[in-house]
Amino acid sequence: MIDLIGYGAFFLTTALIFSLISLGLNLQWGLTGLFNVGVAGFVAIGAYVSALLTTPHDAARFGGFELPILAGWLGAMLVAGVAAAITGFATLRLKSDYLAITTFGVAVVVQLVALNAQSLTGGAFGIGFIPRPFAALAETPLLFNLSNVAIVAAVTLVAYLALQHLSKSPWGRVLKALREDERAAISLGKSARFYRVQAFAVGGALMGLAGAVQAHFIGFIAPDNYAPMLTFQVWVMLIVGGSGSNIGAIVGSILVWAIWAGSGALTATLFAPEQQARAASLQIVAIGVMLCLILLFRPNGLFGNMTQRRRIRLGQRKPS
């Protein structure tokens, strides 16, 4: 029983961290219509920044500043947000595809730096000894797990409430208007781009925060955690939950993580150990197909309210 609660707490913590990333993505995509294919990159930036700020001093690499965890989280948000702002600034005056390609590149480069800049990131072995909140409670695993859930849930709740408030504010309404009407966005010119860069930066900061929270929850990070797969998972979560809905982002994350973890456990019991890597790739195929099916047949997901944008059909444009 205690095991089950412990596992449930662990599951929920992970799912809520995904929710936090999805909330950030929902601000970028659902509210503002900006396509980010480099989610993993911004999560990684947050994780590494917070790790560097809070870990004990390490002669083998840069930093280890032993700052409080909260300072690590704020630093993570700041750096990830700035990285997102620069990305947005470079691409948001261009067509939306350029943002997608650039964010994809950001994720590739961040992973490359994590892997190769040993003196900064610890290389392939990553960074360990990341301080965990409530480390004092580690003696009693149940209490430790529950307090972890509590703090992640609290962070997610704060982010949710803040985003709900933002999306109803004049700022949020401008973003929605820009998303709905490309022409209005173009006619607003520079100020429209400024709004979008802001939204993209705040979304990136949330992803950075999620990365930091996760790093402190697990206590150890390595480049492999931030593969393109992470980006893909978060996208599926947001699409299942419904783009444009913050509650959808949270529910979608929990649901898809449940499916993911469940099917992972299933393959672990059904397949022999040497077959499991293959079975795991089949799991990814299934999720990929699921994403496409939802896009085709239920583009609004469970809670989505993103209205159809102006139709642009190939070879059938309306007269000017």
Partner 1 sequence: MSLQFLVDGLLTGSMIGLGAIGVTLTYSILRFSNFAHGDFMAWGAYATLVVVGAIGAMFGKVAPIGALSFGWPLIIAVIIGCALTGLMALLLDFVLFSRLREKGQAIIVVMASFGASMALRSLLEFIFTSRPTYFSRAIQIAMPVGFGIRVTPDQIALLVLTVLLVSATHLLMTRTHIGRSMQAVSQNPALARVVGIDVARVVRATWLLGGALACVAGVMVGILVQIRPLMGFDMLLPMFAAAILGGIGSVPGAVLGGLIIGLAEAAAVQFIGAEWRAAVSFVILMAVLFVRPIGLFGRRER
Partner 2 sequence: MSEPVLEVRDLVAGYEPGVPIVRGASIRVDRGEIVVVLGPNGAGKSSFIKAIAGLVPVSAGRVMLDGRDITAVPAHKMVGMGLAFVPQTENIFPLMSVEDNLKTAGGILKPREAAERIARMYETFPDLKAFRRVSAGNLSGGQRQMLAVARALIVDPKLLVLDEPSAGLSPKFVSMVFSMLSDIRKSGVTILLVEQNAKAALAIGDRAYVLVEGKDAHEGVASRLWDDPVVAELYLGQRPHAPRGGDA
Contact positions toward partner 1, by CB under 8 A?
33, 35, 37, 90-91, 93-98, 100-102, 104-106, 108-109, 112, 115-116, 228-229, 232, 235-236, 239, 277-278, 281-282, 284-285, 287-289, 291-292, 295-296, 299, 308-317
Provide, rounded to whole angstroms, the least separation between the CB of residue 43 and partner 1. 17
Provide, rounded to whole angstroms, the least separation between the CB of residue 183 and partner 2. 14
Provide, rounded to whole angstroms, the least separation between the CB of residue 319 and partner 2. 6
Beta bridge partners of 127: 221
Cα within 13 Å of Cα(241), Cβ side: 29
Q: Are 126 and 221 in contact (CB under 8 A)?
A: yes
Single out the residue of 187, 202, 277 nearest to residue 36, CA to CA: 202
Nearer Cβ to partner 1, position 71 or 108?
108
Residues with Cβ within 8 Å of 227's Cβ and at least 6 positions away in sequence, in order, are 40, 111
Site for partner 2 in 291-320 (CB under 8 A): 316, 318-320
Single out the residue of 186, 250, 278, 239 nearest to residue 30, CA to CA: 239
94: its two tokens: 């261009």
Query: What is the total count of residues that contact partner 2 (CB under 8 A)?
Result: 4
Nearer Cβ to partner 1, position 158 or 293?
293
Provide, rounded to whole angstroms, the least separation between the CB of residue 6 and partner 1. 31
* β strands within the chain, DSSP E: none
Nearer Cβ to partner 1, position 44 or 215?
44
Q: How far apart are CA 303 and CA 161, in angstroms?
A: 17
80 binds, among partner 2, partner 1, none (CB under 5 to 8 A by kind): none
Q: Max CA-CA distance within the chain? A: 70
Nearer Cβ to partner 1, position 147 or 283?
283
Query: For binding to partner 2 (CB under 8 A), which residues are involved?
Result: 316, 318-320
